[in-house]
Structure 1
Amino acid sequence: MRGIDLKRYRNELGLKQNELAERLEIERSLISKIESGKRTISKTMEKKIKTVLHLNGGVNSVEAKIDFLRVRFKTLDVQTVIEKILHMDMNWFTHENRGFYHYTETFYYGSIRIFRNPEDSNMGIMLDLSGEGCRQLEQIFEEDNDRSWTEFFWSLYEDDLFGQGVVIDTKITRIDIALDELIVDGEVNFDLYDLKEKMEQGLVDTTFKNFDFNGGFAYEGGKMVNKGLSLYFGSRQSPLYFNFYQKDYELARKEKMSVEDTRLKHEIKNRYEIRLADEKAFLFIEYFLSSGESLDWLVKEIINASLTVYEIENDLKVFCQSWYNVIDKMEGLKLSVKGEKPSIEKTLRWLTNYLAPSLKMIKLIDNYMGTNELMERIDLAELKEKHEEMIDMVCVDAKDLLLGNGSNSDLREYMSQEFDLEEEYAF
């Protein structure tokens, strides 16, 4: 544990240095020295801090998996996508003259689906993998010299993706990651009703503006069946969305089994699902590749950046031990493998997908009017927060943007100086 971690924990709990020192039964000056980096935290002190603040997490067993993936390739060449990207045989796929999402054709192998509209090259090809489709593709990976998701995603960054000397614009539009909390003898699983109550009691700090839940019973097969509790953070239309639910009850309804038998069969209690779309999906993959970390670690870090859960102990606020037994209270990114940063091509792809259309519109209007008035107005415009976020999207590390704390002070200072110079020498 580092001094900056201790300071973050103290601030999250709303404690002053003397209040934290009192809980730890040490001098306030020692807290100050630790947080400023003048003193290190001994193993004995770290153990005491974790015990007092309830930071001894990561007890419960969890398993992370990709549960949904959607990738668009701006090409109509289905066969090459199947052979070069999926490493599969075109002959394995069945073709139908109907599709989804405004596509008119479907090529499918089990739950691995590819959509195409041959009348619209701008729509390209959409690779659509449900949870079952992801599992089927993983089986293909195993047969393909133990290929992995990491290798699959790295292949999407290749400049000559199809080996034809043609640059293919590739866009990851959505990815869902599921963190399953397993049922293990001797471990106590987290009760999602507890998280719901803490939300209602104001014991959860969150970056989300929307929270909803669903539960109750349904009349099925002549009897009332418990649907289980589902918690929703954010909006389905937003680029980041959480869905935490009692997976054991969902499986019991689906397979028409008792909850007890379902738990014995699948050994899963809760599922913590994060859904990332558009920019967030793009950033997650970049972060995944550049950090070299495991999926479960990254999911926990995203959840930690969005939710902080507390409980009251002896009239004092501490971190919720049962929650962090599952999620962990991270001390910052621990790089296990130093991954290579994706090339500048990833930035150009972001510009193509999210910014270039607006710039092209401005350019066409400016050319049509035969003046430079629009560009002059752009130079004089004041950037708002949403515009600065767009600049950060290109200039700030993927991790900071993904976790919602990205900023680039050097860039801000540079832009400020540039604007000051323009005003000084304007005539």
Structure 2
Amino acid sequence: MTELQIPPHANRGVVIVKEDKENIEKPLISMVDYIRVTFKTHDIDYILENVVHLRKDYMTEKSSGFYGYIGTFELDQIKVFYSALDDNRGILVEMSGKGCRQFESFLKCRKKTWFDFFQDCIENKGTFTRFDLAIDDKRTYFSIPELLKKAQKGECISRFRKSDFNGSFDLVDGGLGGTTIYFGSKKSEAYLCFYEKNHEQSEKYNIPLEEIGEWNRYELRLKNDRAQVAVKALITQKNLTYIALKIINNYVRFVDADENITREYWKTSPLWSEFIGDVEKLSLYTKPDADFYRKSRNWLQNSCAPTMKMVLEVDKHLGSTDLSDMILNAEMSDKQEKMLEVFLAEITDMVV
């Protein structure tokens, strides 16, 4: 494993603050985007109270789990899996990107940061098996398609042996869609993905591209040893520069070809130098998300609202109350009762 060297000190702490003009105008915004950490214990109450810091009463328990675990305590996208007593896998805490945003609302309530969570995990002998970081670039230091062209011309010096890419175009007017470049293998312990986030959002939400503006995203996915080393470094340095420089710049570097010298001596491209030079300005800021029932609400809006509107119009025409009667007579499931309880609760009630 390549040793990660410590970059210059800088005050890049993970501080969750209100979204203001200064934060919006920062060209680079980074965020913790995925976490998977295991504990060799079966004491689920201890992990919930001393690591996750969430009250079990507000979490939904399911008698099933993923990855071979037999049960789950979950609060929307924050999931804590537990294994059988004779299974040495113990407990797994997993948060998707949305789960990380939700967890930040609890960190903010406790006046804590991601560094505090990482410290709690390590102190309790947690092992990070996956750690993802996403960087949003709305200044767009470079064009992803142009970066792809440089890579295809051999103008990318990398520790990875191979790269992959995908893209799309409109059959009507030939307009290009979003381009994605993958560095490394998904099976490796370090994997990078650069893509045009504005195209993805435009297609996903059917929003004109010009309304979204320029937006690249750079995702860094670390597993096992790489994840563990990165997290321990963050605890020590509290410096996102460490992650940005030693993951991105140590794994890929874009250069300009020079036929007069061998490839290994080609100079770093100015577009890459400018980007890497500004990585030190990265802020680990993102807007916390305290919405824990959005998925169900969106499903209701997309799947049921038209039918409900039809019944409402019939009620108006006939002077009946079918829709309100259906709602009043409906019985919520245990999961829906729990979702309602969480939605109505204050964040301060849910944290330990």
TM-score category (smaller protein): 0.5 to 0.7
Q: CA deviation at 1:225?
A: 9.2
Q: CA deviation at 1:216?
A: 1.0
Structure 1 portions without partners, runs of 5+: 1-59, 162-168, 335-427
**Equivalent residues of 1:231, 1:243 under 8 A apart:** yes
Mapped partners of 2:96, 2:122: distance in 1: 22
**Equivalent residues of 1:175, 1:281 under 8 A apart:** yes
Residue equivalent to 2:272: 323
Residue equivalent to 1:95: 61
SS across alignment from 1:327: helix
Mapped partners of 2:154, 2:114: distance in 1: 39
- Displacement over 3 Å in runs of 4+: 222-227, 312-318
Mapped partners of 1:255, 1:120: distance in 2: 46
Q: Give the number of equivalent residue pairs.
A: 253
Mapped partners of 2:278, 2:211: distance in 1: 32
The normalised TM-score by structure 1 is 0.54
- The answer as to 2:181 corresponding to 1:216 is no
SS across alignment from 1:228: coil
**Equivalent residues of 1:243, 1:273 under 8 A apart:** yes
SS across alignment from 1:134: helix
**Equivalent residues of 2:50, 2:120 under 8 A apart:** no
Amino acid at match of 1:254: K
Residue equivalent to 2:226: 280
- The answer as to 2:154 corresponding to 1:202 is yes
Residue equivalent to 1:155: 120
The normalised TM-score by structure 2 is 0.65
Residue equivalent to 2:128: 172
Mapped partners of 1:120, 1:321: distance in 2: 57
- The answer as to 2:255 corresponding to 1:305 is no
SS across alignment from 1:98: coil
Residue equivalent to 1:129: 95
**Equivalent residues of 1:179, 1:296 under 8 A apart:** no
Distance change (3 Å), C-alpha of 1:92 and 1:245: same
Please list, as runs of the form range in 1=range in 2, the aligned pairs for 1:51-130 lying within 5 A after superposition.
Answer: 61-118=27-84, 120-130=86-96
**Equivalent residues of 2:253, 2:272 under 8 A apart:** no
Mapped partners of 2:201, 2:38: distance in 1: 31
Structure 2 portions without partners, runs of 5+: 1-25, 282-352
Amino acid at match of 2:231: I
Amino acid at match of 1:126: L
Mapped partners of 2:192, 2:56: distance in 1: 36
Distance change (3 Å), C-alpha of 1:313 and 1:149: same
Q: CA deviation at 1:226?
A: 6.0
**Equivalent residues of 1:174, 1:277 under 8 A apart:** yes
SS across alignment from 2:198: helix
Spell out, residue by residue over 1:150-185, the C-alpha distance to the aligned partner (whole angstroms, 9 max, x if none): 111112232xx4xxxxxxx421110001111024xx
SS across alignment from 1:326: helix
Spell out, residue by residue over 1:1-40, the C-alpha distance to the aligned partner (whole angstroms, 9 max, x if none): xxxxxxxxxxxxxxxxxxxxxxxxxxxxxxxxxxxxxxxx
SS across alignment from 1:95: strand
Residue equivalent to 1:9: none
SS across alignment from 1:208: coil
Distance change (3 Å), C-alpha of 1:77 and 1:226: farther
Q: CA deviation at 1:291?
A: 2.4
Please list, as runs of the form range in 1=range in 2, the aligned pairs for 1:32-47 lying within 5 A after superposition.
Answer: none
Spell out, residue by residue over 1:198-253, the C-alpha distance to the aligned partner (whole angstroms, 9 max, x if none): 1111111111012110111489xx99996511111111111111111111111222
Residue equivalent to 2:108: 142
SS across alignment from 2:157: strand
Distance change (3 Å), C-alpha of 1:114 and 1:284: same
Instruction: Give RMSD over aligned pairs.
Output: 3.0
Mapped partners of 1:280, 1:310: distance in 2: 26
Mapped partners of 2:64, 2:157: distance in 1: 45
Q: CA deviation at 1:112?
A: 0.4
Amino acid at match of 2:164: D
SS across alignment from 1:328: helix
Distance change (3 Å), C-alpha of 1:225 and 1:99: farther
Spell out, residue by residue over 1:120-173, the C-alpha distance to the aligned partner (whole angstroms, 9 max, x if none): 4312111110011111111100101x2001111112232xx4xxxxxxx42111
Residue equivalent to 1:30: none
**Equivalent residues of 2:178, 2:199 under 8 A apart:** yes
Mapped partners of 1:197, 1:65: distance in 2: 28
Mapped partners of 2:225, 2:116: distance in 1: 21
Q: CA deviation at 1:290?
A: 2.1
SS across alignment from 1:283: helix
**Equivalent residues of 1:63, 1:180 under 8 A apart:** yes
Mapped partners of 1:191, 1:175: distance in 2: 26
SS across alignment from 2:93: strand
Amino acid at match of 1:109: L
- The answer as to 2:191 corresponding to 1:241 is yes
Distance change (3 Å), C-alpha of 1:119 and 1:242: same
Percent of pairs identical after alignment? 30
